[in-house]
Structure 1
C-alpha cells in the first residue's frame, strides 16, 4: 500500500483513519498515505471515481459505483467485515416521524 495513492478519511474526533485488512484470523492495521484526506465518504468516493487514488469505504456506499463500472473492487479477500451500522435513539414513544422515515430508508437500502 505504500506505493499507492491512498485516499483517507478524517473521523469526527479529528483522527485520520487507518486502513484495516484481515488475513485469515489476523486483523492488520495499515497507516496509509496519499493526496487527499476527506471529511466524508461522498468526497472520498468522488475522488476515487476521478482516479485520484484508492479508497477503502463501507460496502453499502461502494456497491452502486462498482455496479455502474465507475469503481473496481480490489483486495476483496482481505476485506474487513464489520457488524454493521448502529443508530441509537430514545425509543418508539419519543420517535419523530422524520427519524422513523430515516430508519425505514436505511433499512430498505441495506
Structure 2
C-alpha cells in the first residue's frame, strides 16, 4: 500500500485498537501493522503525542526481568476516537465519491 496514512487517521487507528485491550508498544505496533504498513519508528511518536494530549495513559508491568510499558485509552481518548470516527465517515464518503468519478451525482 503506497498511500500515506494521515496523522489523525493513524491516531484513530491506535485509539481504536486500544478499545479492545491495553497493549505494550511492540504488540500495539504489530496489531496496527496487520492492516497498515507502519514501522515502530512511526508509531512511538504517535503514542507520545496521544499521551501528551491526555488520550492515553501508561503503566509498566514486569516481564522477564524488564518492564513493558502498556498503553491504555482514557475517557478523553474515547471521546476523541468518536470525533475521528465521525470525521472519517464524512471524509471516506467524499473520497469514494471523487474516486468513482463517472458515478458521482451531478
The TM-score bracket by the shorter chain reads: under 0.3
Length-normalised TM-score, structure 2: 0.26
Length-normalised TM-score, structure 1: 0.25
Comparing both chains, which one has the higher relative contact order based on Cα–Cα distances under 8 Å and sequence gaps of 6 or more?
2
- Quick check: which one's helix share is greater? 2
